[in-house]
Amino acid sequence: MGELLELFLTFAKVGVLTFGGGYAMLPILEREICTNKHWVDSNELMDYYAIGQCTPGVIAVNLATFVGKKRKGIPGGIVATLGVVFPSLLIITFIAALISNFAELVWVEKAFTGIRICVCVLIFNSVVKLYKGAVKDLPAFIIFCVVAICSVFLSISPVIYVIIAGALGILIQNFKSAGDDKAKEVNR
């Protein structure tokens, strides 16, 4: 029961401290569940993050579910998911009750402008971390560039990009493995 409570409280902390959605929460998640709790390592977090982007639903919820399930099975997945959602539910309920009264105030509009800028920076930091973790060689850099350029100029579903990039990753790794095996045979 103690570890379930710890899962709930950790993901509630992430949920209450994160503004801007899944991308902006990556640094906080990395600090809390990788560095502080050691529940997953950074590579595993990036894998969960990638899967969370490909599955329906909110990235943060999907990621909390994966980590919670890994730690304590299905009850852990449920508790971690509730933890990450609970603060947002309270905050949104509170804001919804008050926003109609204050949305027109100039200082509220300016505050939201500042918050949007901050969220952009947090998302940018997440992209840099994801890039450093994912792009480790020339083939990965080429896949990154092609997907980045195509996503800017073409209106294609992100699912297609993920499927093609995944297939290319498999092909490249198989090609590398075959080359490594041949090099080992030559050296014998």
pLDDT digits (tens, 9 = 90+) for 103-161: 777 887 888 888 888 888 888 887 888 888 889 889 999 999 999 999 999 999 888 99
Which range marks the domain in which residue 18 is found?
2-133
The answer on 160 and 144 residing in a single domain is: yes
The answer on 78 and 98 residing in a single domain is: yes
Residues in contact with 33: Cβ distance below 8 Å, sequence separation at least 6, in sequence order:
10, 14, 39, 40, 45, 67
Alpha-carbon separation of residue 150 from 4, 109, 153, 162 (angstroms):
43, 34, 5, 12
Residue 183: CB atoms within 10 Å? 9
The CA distance from 114 to 22, in Å, is 19
Whether the pLDDT of residue 34 is over 70: the answer is: yes
The answer on 155 and 99 residing in a single domain is: no
The answer on 124 and 160 residing in a single domain is: no
The answer on 21 and 99 residing in a single domain is: yes
Last residue within a domain, chosen from 108, 133, 158? 133
Q: Is the pTM of this model over 0.85?
A: no
The answer on 93 and 139 residing in a single domain is: no
The answer on 72 and 142 residing in a single domain is: no
Last residue within a domain, chosen from 133, 156, 178? 133
Alpha-carbon separation of residue 184 from 22, 25, 124, 188 (angstroms):
43, 43, 42, 6
Q: How confident is the model at residue 31 (pLDDT cuts 50, 70, 90)?
A: confident
Number of domains within the chain:
2
Last residue within a domain, chosen from 87, 107, 133? 133
The answer on 145 and 69 residing in a single domain is: no
The answer on 110 and 36 residing in a single domain is: yes
Whether the pLDDT of residue 29 is over 80: the answer is: yes
The answer on 143 and 115 residing in a single domain is: no
The answer on 153 and 163 residing in a single domain is: yes
pLDDT at 105: 79
The answer on 152 and 118 residing in a single domain is: no
